[in-house]
């Protein structure tokens, strides 16, 4: 079994910053891509940023230059540094990881965190 635990959400003023963190734990042999997704009220879940095991990154156009994704392979963590936050960034943010398990049945699978609320308001 694999669990992703998120932290760092909260409420900030426009122009402020937050840092989200996600730690993967459980029967893990390897983690491939990791990423962050978000879902605003009344909208579907959308990609924010992804990072490969080797460190290659990809960002949604709306967050380029403001958000930075990073990972620590030794600790099985992924983080999202969010600067210059705007009201449009308000959403529930979800951590995602592609994991190879160690416990039978051994398999690759996609796993999601529980989500953490980010609210940007005046």
Compute the average pLDDT of residues 82-109: 95
Angle at 85 between CA 81 and CA 50, to 5 degrees: 40
Place of tokens 């009220």: 41
Res 103 pLDDT > 90:
no
User: What value does the mean pLDDT of the chain take?
Assistant: 96
Compute the average pLDDT of residues 84-96: 98
């Amino acid at each position: 079994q694999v669990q992703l635990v998120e932290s760092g959400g909260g409420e900030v003023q426009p122009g402020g910053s937050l840092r989200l963190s996600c730690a993967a734990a459980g029967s893990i042999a390897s983690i491939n891509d990791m990423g962050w997704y978000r879902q605003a009220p009344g909208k579907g879940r959308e990609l924010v940023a992804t990072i490969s095991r080797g460190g290659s990154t990809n960002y949604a156009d709306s967050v380029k230059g403001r958000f930075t994704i990073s990972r620590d392979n030794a600790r099985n963590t992924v983080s999202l540094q969010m600067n210059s936050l705007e009201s449009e960034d308000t959403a529930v943010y979800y951590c995602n990881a592609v994991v190879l398990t160690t416990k039978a049945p051994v398999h690759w699978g996609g796993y999601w965190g529980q989500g953490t609320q980010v609210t940007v308001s005046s």
